[in-house]
Every structure is written in structure tokens, then in C-alpha cells.
Amino acid sequence: MCKVSPQQCDKMFTGGKVIIKKDVDYQTALNYQKAFQRTGATCYIKPMDK
């Protein structure tokens, strides 16, 4: 789904908040969200602070 190192993967599943992807359009963010939800993970889309 995402190309990440084992360390990044561990961080994603510790229960804390993790930024998966920055600076993408809303449709791309929805695609990521759907992919994570299909695995049972909780995923939220949040606008980045500038």
C-alpha cells in the first residue's frame, strides 16, 4: 500500500497519530483513507497547517 521502512511501519501502528502523506489533493487523500480502512485501520483526513 505504502512504501515505507520497517521503522516507519512500526510507528504507524503504535496507536499514535502519524502523517501518511502531505500536500496531496482531496481525492488522493480519500484514496489513501479508503485503502487504510480496507485493512481495518482508522484514518482521518486533516488539512495541514501552513
Residue type, 47: P
Q: Please tell me the predicted confidence (pLDDT) of residue 18.
A: 80
Closest by alpha carbon to 16, among 41, 49, 50?
41
Cell reading at 10: 512500526
What is the per-residue pLDDT across 1-50, written as a single tens digit (0 to 9) for each?
567 677 777 777 777 788 888 899 999 999 999 998 998 888 889 987 76
Instruction: Break the chain into its structural domains and give their ranges.
Output: 1-49
- Taking the model in full, what pTM does it have? 0.67
